Amino acid sequence: MIILLLSSILLLAPPAQEDSPLTYMEPEFARSRIAQVIGDDMEPLEQLEALSVVVERCEEPELLALAHYNLGVIFSGLTLTDPDRFDDAANAFLAADRASSNLDLQSKARFNLGHAYYIRAQSIKENVSVESMVDAESSLDSLKERVEVLKSAAGAFRSVVDIHPTHAHAASNVERVRNEIKVLQDQIEALEEMIKQQQEQQSQQQQQQQDAADALNELAEKQQQQADKTESSPPKNEQEQEQQQSEQQDLNDLTEEAKDEIAAQQQQTDEIEDKIQEAQDAQERAQEAMEQGDQELAAEEQAKAAQALKEAAQSMQEMADESKEQGEKSDDSKDEGEAQDEGEQGEEEGESDEISEVAKDLLDKERREREARQAYRAKGRPVKVEKDW
């Protein structure tokens, strides 16, 4: 469990009696206003409003940092019921760190920033679903988003260790978050492999559907040709009649084979099944009419069979087109993800540590203020944190 050090709201001096009429808020009045807001039993929204006034009107850096910090604490409490407050909390802690040169306040702001990121990561949907390709890809996106937010949390915790190398809670949280990231990355790898297999199966299914549609179309054309031949060139003798019946029987057999093949591929829908059965019934009636010498009826039934096969082919073609469209959408989504991953990889190659831009900003500020911190660092040089993930 992540160690929670959401520090108590900081108190200062006793409250002042009245507000200043000036746009600029005097430091002493800002100090007393902060103490009043925190000391009184006020509702969170009232506290936010009062502290926001201090932020808008106070120009003293440390008091401004203190107001931002307390805003962050209040916003963090609100995220439990209103996750949309996360950005407000993170921005407030970041602003407090930027405004202050006090190591203690900076440490608290950075630690609570890391905790805010961690809570945000936990709020992201994590249920992995494999019921469909869409669900699987949505789950993958959620897992990747959680990893990125957790990296930001780890970066903030690491920045605490950078200024306070003996901060045990921050160091412990870095390790805990790192382990959680590793677990999620393993899940992402497994899910990506599953999605890849689903895509291959989908591609194979689409090809089978297309082949089946082509076969039904070809069969429909042959059946129509046979119908035209029966109508325009009736057999003149018994031998020609037997030949005609044999050709129709061949088409009957091909229709049965097509039906069995589609069923074996588990691609058959009720509509396609009905149309193929309709074609087979018409073929049988055509065969019977030929045996009875009724060429007109035979041709009519053959035409009905051809039409039914054509409609079955159209339905199968629609299935193939739909599968193809789904596959193309999945490929587009994959390409976008790969492009984004390449961009992120470029950033990682430029920096040896995989921390967020927020954490980098914090560390850059730390380096810029190095001279001002010499007094604090006189007791010993901070130990550099290993870049281990």
CB distance 31 to 63 below 8 Å: yes
| 243-294 per-position pLDDT tens digit | 989 999 999 999 998 888 888 776 557 788 888 899 999 999 998 988 888 8
- The verdict on residue 161 lying in a domain is no
Average pLDDT, the chain: 78
In the chain, the number of structural domains is 2
Amino acid 245 reads Q
Expressed as residue numbers, the domain containing 116 is 1-123
End position of a domain, from candidates 95, 123, 151: 123
Q: How far apart are CA 335 and CA 321, in angstroms?
A: 21
End position of a domain, from candidates 331, 346, 381: 331
Q: Which of 88-97, 149-158, 166-175, 233-242 has the lowest mean pLDDT?
A: 233-242
Over residues 181-189, mean pLDDT: 93
CB distance 122 to 86 below 8 Å: no
- The verdict on residue 158 lying in a domain is no
Radius of gyration, alpha carbons of the chain: 37
Residue whose structure tokens are 């120009």: 59
Q: Percentage of the chain with pLDDT > 90? A: 35
Helices marked H in 233-294 — which ranges? Answer: 238-264, 270-291
End position of a domain, from candidates 108, 123, 138: 123
Q: What are the tokens at 302?
A: 């053959």
| 317-354 per-position pLDDT tens digit | 888 888 778 766 665 555 555 544 444 433 333 333 43
Give the Cα-Cα-Cα angle 14, 17, 18 (nearest 5 degrees): 130
* Same domain? 94 vs 6: yes
Supply the pLDDT for residue 385.
Answer: 35
| 97-122 per-position pLDDT tens digit | 999 999 999 999 999 999 999 999 98
